[in-house]
């Protein structure tokens, strides 16, 4: 069966046979870039459709159902509409920063894709500081948001951006602590090593209590980090019209919107990699028939399934919980999540040292 690893190796061998190694590497970069942009557009279409359908189901509505079968092409129609809209730059804005901000947010989302492992041995860059790289790069997106808010020359945009800065910076701490729990248990920052460590059971099963706590904290923190309801302080429709992207329209707005959904995908993929075993299939015990059936399912499907499950959970949060106020939001982080995750880190360290995990 042609796996993604197999196809990647075929392309690599063919390019190296045709061209010199330097040129082959250049072509590989090009192919990766095209694939990432393609993944972005597909993710944008699929996730926005998924969000609208999930919200409709949770509110006993139908959701989009006019364009195409069951409304499946609604997001395609929306994208076409956004592309043909005028890319307007208002008069009073800082033109350079205003036009740069959506691209910064977008590029940050693209760079985080690099160390993610999409299937067995299918990864762009197996850097040895993978988890650290992801946390470091993802904090850069706040620069794009602050830039958009500041350059818009609009008090609502600036307020939204400032709030978003406070929120992302504080929630990054507990998200980082949650990731550290797994790093401690594995003893490695490399994504492939973390996935391989889960070949005899996912960390959420093997690591018991500290990993459960870390998983819950991670899900809460990444919901806040991606600026989604119930933590949508950056947008705050009811208070700040649209927060940092009030002044944006057309494709520039679409880039922010797309970056939001791609960020959700990235953090859910990270959560699936660290807690749910990445591409590792679900195994119980060793060598049973159940395990062999699970092994037949391709690793890419396992990874996508876990990621989309976590995305569904985050959407579930959004359509269930009421929004938090800004002070409640910071209370939750500094008074609850941060102390708990610190103690949880100690507990994880103790369990790792004593070898109490499975």
Closest approach, Cβ 297 to another protein, in A, equals: 24
CB neighbour class for 17 (10 Å; exposed up to 12, middle 13-18, buried from 19): exposed
Closest approach, Cβ 260 to another protein, in A, equals: 21
* Contact characters 25-54, another protein, x per CB under 8 A: -----------------------------x
Number of H helices, E strands in the chain: 16, 2
Closest approach, Cβ 340 to another protein, in A, equals: 8
132 in contact with another protein (CB under 8 A):
no
- Candidates 6, 61, 81, 325; binder of another protein (CB under 8 A) is 61
Pick the closer one to another protein by CB: 19 or 321: 321
Encoded tokens for 12: 């690599």
Distance CA 317, CA 308 (A): 14
Pick the closer one to another protein by CB: 55 or 300: 55
336 in contact with another protein (CB under 8 A):
yes
Site of tokens 């920052």: 189
Pick the closer one to another protein by CB: 336 or 358: 336
Contact range with another protein by CB under 8 A, out of 59-67, 82-90, 251-259, 271-279 = 59-67
121 and 193 Cβ atoms separated by less than 8 Å: no
How many residues make contact with another protein (CB under 8 A)? 16
Pick the closer one to another protein by CB: 25 or 216: 216
Closest approach, Cβ 59 to another protein, in A, equals: 7
Closest approach, Cβ 63 to another protein, in A, equals: 9
245 secondary structure, DSSP code: G
- Candidates 26, 321, 343, 358; binder of another protein (CB under 8 A) is 321
Closest approach, Cβ 47 to another protein, in A, equals: 17
N-terminal to C-terminal alpha carbon distance within the chain: 33
Distance CA 327, CA 299 (A): 43
Closest approach, Cβ 58 to another protein, in A, equals: 4
Distance CA 103, CA 251 (A): 11
128 in contact with another protein (CB under 8 A):
no
Helices 21-58/250-275 angle, 10° precision: 90
| CA proximity to 72, closest of 92, 94, 52 | 52
221 and 317 Cβ atoms separated by less than 8 Å: no
343 in contact with another protein (CB under 8 A):
no
The helix or strand, by DSSP H or E, that contains position 119, with its residue range, turns out to be strand 117-119
319 in contact with another protein (CB under 8 A):
yes
Encoded tokens for 307: 């990621």
- Candidates 290, 316, 343, 356; binder of another protein (CB under 8 A) is 316
| CA proximity to 226, closest of 177, 270, 168 | 168
Contact footprint for another protein (CB under 8 A): 54, 56-62, 65, 316-317, 319-321, 336, 340
């Amino acid at each position: 069966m042609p796996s993604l690893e197999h196809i990647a190796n075929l392309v690599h061998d063919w390019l190296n046979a045709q061209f010199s190694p330097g040129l082959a590497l250049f072509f590989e970069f090009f192919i990766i870039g095209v694939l990432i942009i393609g993944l972005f557009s597909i993710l944008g279409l699929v996730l926005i459709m998924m969000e609208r359908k999930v919200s409709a189901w949770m509110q006993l509505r139908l959701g989009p159902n006019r364009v195409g079968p069951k409304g499946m092409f609604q997001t395609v129609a929306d994208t076409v509409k956004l592309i043909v809209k005028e890319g307007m730059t208002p008069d009073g804005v800082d033109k350079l920063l205003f036009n740069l901000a959506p691209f910064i947010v977008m590029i940050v989302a693209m760079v985080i894709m690099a160390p993610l492992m999409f299937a067995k041995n299918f990864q762009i860059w197996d850097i040895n500081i993978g988890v650290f790289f992801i946390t470091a790069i993802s904090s850069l997106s706040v620069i794009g948001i602050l830039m958009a808010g500041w350059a818009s020359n609009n008090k609502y945009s600036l307020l939204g951006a400032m709030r978003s800065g406070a929120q992302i910076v504080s929630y990054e701490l507990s998200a980082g602590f949650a990731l550290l729990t797994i790093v401690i248990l594995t003893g490695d920052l490399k994504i492939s090593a973390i996935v391989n460590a889960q070949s005899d059971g996912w960390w959420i099963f093997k690591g018991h209590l500290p990993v459960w706590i870390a998983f819950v904290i991670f899900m809460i923190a990444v919901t806040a980090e991606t600026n989604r309801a119930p933590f949508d302080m950056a947008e705050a429709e009811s208070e700040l019209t649209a927060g940092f992207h009030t002044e944006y329209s057309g494709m520039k707005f679409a880039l922010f919107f797309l970056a939001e959904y791609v960020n959700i995908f990235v953090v859910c993929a990270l959560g699936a990699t660290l807690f749910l075993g990445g591409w590792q299939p679900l195994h119980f015990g060793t060598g049973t028939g159940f395990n062999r059936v699970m092994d037949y399912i391709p690793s890419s499907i396992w990874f996508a399934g876990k990621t989309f499950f976590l995305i569904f959970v985050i959407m579930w949060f959004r359509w269930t919980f009421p929004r938090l106020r800004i002070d409640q939001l910071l209370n939750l982080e500094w008074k609850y999540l941060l102390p708990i995750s610190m103690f949880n880190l100690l507990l994880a360290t103790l369990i790792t040292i004593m070898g109490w995990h499975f």
